[in-house]
């Protein structure tokens, strides 16, 4: 088993990555079982795929275990669902000792993590990510949250789990488009931090059916853990994880959440950010070409019908939420991310032509 430590003093925890790890969860958690209630928060389709087996195994190992499901889709990250879960937990007699197991993709992880951070002022939880995006990104680092009418993730907290349990074999049932979306975030890690990893990903993508997910997830988790350990609250280094996200978030908002997946939007955003890095004289033409060739190995939806002015208005809205400063992530070289505040509206608008 690969154990990656996320170092945050007393709040440090491990990210375990292992094939077939799901079956070993009772064994891994046994020392933490003091007779409390263990609550799986998931989605019904995922309960059928792996959740009911997990619950059975936990019960056989003397864990008192129950479950709650969320609907599928971004709509589950809502105030209504949040309060419904809290009420259901009270009905189930959950208390301060209850431990949550968040089994699912980023939607489940974000809501379940936020519930854990606020139920009776905070209870323990573990992330068991089931999408590639959740394995390499959303389950690590403690960002939790829900959406409100005014925007995405506007209510939330940074609340670290007790551990992250990753079983790459459960990606077998993940729909292809969701895999592609997660691969966008995997490419991001290579682009900002490790050029050899980026080159490996590029080679692996030539035969996507044999893609070594375990290897890729391990390296991505190492990079994310290192960055979060050094800058938990996103005052500096952690900003690099937003590579491709400025334009990416705007594309998601423009096309509607659910129509363009997060990782797909980020992949397109990385092409724009690569072009900007080249135009601003940070990244060489050849390196930008390599980045684009890698991203182009993913089948991405067409965004040719976008309106550049609308995209720009979303970028500006995002900037307002972030204290009015846009820390735009550029590449100084492949594997070397950096931020700049000297980016013009025109530059962002012009960059959109590379994805139209
Ligand atoms: N907290 C963070 O740091 C962070 C980072 C990035 C993204 N996010 C959030 O993550 C969310 C997106 O997460 P996502 O991309 O994982 O999408 P998701 O959670 O909506 O999952 C996508 C779909 O795949 C299904 N699914 C999940 N695992 C499966 C499996 N193994 N087999 C078959 N089907 C499976 C789900 O039921 C769902 O229908 C967004 O809300 C985004 O804001 C959070
Ligand atoms: Zn992302």
Domains of the chain: 2-172 (3.40.50.1970), 175-355 (1.20.1090.10)
Instruction: Tell me, in angstroms, the distance from the centre of ligand 2 to residue 143's CA.
Output: 12
Q: pLDDT band for 322, please (50, 70, 90 cuts).
A: confident
* Cβ pair 300, 352 in contact under 8 A: no
The residues that are catalytic are 121, 143, 185, 224, 234, 238, 242, 245, 249, 262
Ligand 1: which residue has its CA nearest to atom 19? 105
Q: What does DSSP assign to residue 278?
A: H
Q: What's the gap in Å between 113 CA and the centre of ligand 2?
A: 17
Query: Please, which residues bridge with residue 337 across strands?
Result: 331
- How high is the mean pLDDT of the chain? 96
Residue 294 to residue 290: CA distance in whole angstroms: 6
CA distance 212 to 221: 14
Probe ligand 1: pick from 103, 105, 170, max atoms within 8 Å of CB? 105
Residue in the structure block whose two tokens are 């003091």: 34
Inform me whether the pLDDT recorded for 321 exceeds 80: no
Are the C-beta atoms of residues 339 and 327 closer than 8 Å to each other?
yes
pLDDT at 295: 98
Looking at the CA of 170, name the nearest ligand: 1
Asked if the model's pLDDT at residue 259 lies above 90, the reply is no
pLDDT at 132: 98
- What is the number of the ligand 1 atom nearest to the C-alpha of 171? 31
> Which ligand 1 atom sits closest to the C-alpha of 152?
43
User: Stretch 260-284: mean pLDDT, rounded?
Assistant: 97
Judge if pTM exceeds 0.85. yes
Q: Which of 267, 275, 80, 56 is nearest to 179 (CA)?
A: 267
pLDDT tens readout for residues 69-114: 999 999 999 999 999 999 999 999 999 999 999 999 999 999 999 9
Dig out the tokens for 107 from the structure. 């939607």
pLDDT in tens, 129-172: 999 999 999 999 999 999 998 888 889 999 999 999 999 999 99
Ligand 2 geometric centre to CA of 338 (Å): 17
What torsion do the CA atoms of 261, 263, 266, 267 make, to the nearest 10 degrees?
A: -110
d(CA 211, CA 232): 31
pLDDT digits (tens, 9 = 90+) for 15-73: 999 999 999 999 999 999 999 999 999 999 999 999 999 999 999 999 999 999 999 99
Rounded distance between C-alpha atoms, residue 83 and residue 350, angstroms? 43
Three-state SS at 244: coil
Strand pairing class (13-17; 2-6): antiparallel
Q: Give the Cα separation of 212 and 89 in Å (integer).
A: 39
CA-based R_g, the chain, Å: 20
d(CA 119, CA 96): 8
Q: What are the pocket residues of ligand 1 if the criterion is a CB atom closer than 6 Å to any ligand atom?
A: 43, 45-46, 49, 72, 74, 77, 104-108, 110, 130-131, 133-134, 137-138, 141, 143, 153, 170-171, 173-174, 178, 181, 262
Which of the residue ranges 137-146, 227-236, 250-259 would you say has the lowest mean pLDDT? Answer: 250-259
- Per-residue pLDDT for 11 more than 80? yes
287: which 2 tokens?
Answer: 């390196």
Ramachandran class of 120: left when φ > 0, alpha when ψ lies in -120 to 50, beta otherwise:
left
Q: Are 240 and 193 in contact (CB under 8 A)?
A: yes
């Amino acid at each position: 088993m690969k154990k990656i430590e996320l170092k945050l003093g007393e709040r440090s925890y491990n990210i375990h990555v292992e094939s077939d790890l799901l079956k070993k969860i009772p064994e891994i958690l046994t020392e933490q079982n003091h007779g409390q209630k263990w609550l799986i928060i998931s989605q019904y389709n995922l309960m059928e795929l792996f959740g009911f087996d997990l619950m059975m195994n936990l019960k056989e190992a003397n864990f008192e275990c129950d479950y709650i499901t969320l609907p599928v889709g971004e709509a589950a990250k809502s105030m209504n669902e949040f309060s419904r879960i809290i009420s259901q937990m009270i009905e189930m007699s959950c208390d301060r000792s209850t431990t949550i197991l968040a089994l699912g993709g980023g939607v489940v992880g974000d809501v379940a993590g936020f519930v854990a951070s606020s139920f009776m002022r905070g209870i323990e939880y573990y992330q068991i990510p089931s999408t590639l995006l959740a394995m390499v990104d959303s389950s690590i680092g403690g960002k939790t949250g829900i959406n409100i009418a005014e925007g995405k993730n506007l209510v939330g907290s940074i609340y670290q789990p007790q551990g992250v349990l990753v079983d790459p074999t459960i990606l077998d049932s993940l729909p292809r488009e969701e895999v592609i979306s997660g691969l966008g975030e995997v490419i991001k890690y290579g682009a900002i931090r490790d050029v050899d990893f980026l080159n490996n990903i590029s080679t692996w993508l030539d035969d996507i059916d044999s893609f070594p997910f375990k290897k890729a997830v391990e390296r991505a988790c190492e990079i994310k853990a290192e960055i979060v350990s050094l800058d938990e609250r996103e005052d500096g280094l952690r900003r690099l994880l937003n590579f491709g996200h400025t334009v990416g978030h705007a594309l998601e908002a423009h096309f509607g959440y659910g129509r363009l997946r997060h990782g797909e939007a980020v992949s397109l955003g990385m092409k724009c950010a690569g072009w900007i890095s080249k135009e601003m004289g940070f990244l060489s033409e050849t390196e930008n070409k390599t980045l684009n060739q890698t991203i182009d190995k993913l089948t991405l939806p067409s965004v040719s019908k976008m309106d550049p002015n609308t995209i720009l208005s979303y970028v500006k809205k995002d900037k307002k939420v972030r204290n009015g400063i846009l820390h735009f992530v550029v590449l100084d070289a492949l594997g070397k991310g950096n931020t700049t505040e000297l980016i013009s509206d025109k530059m962002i608008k012009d960059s959109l032509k590379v994805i139209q």
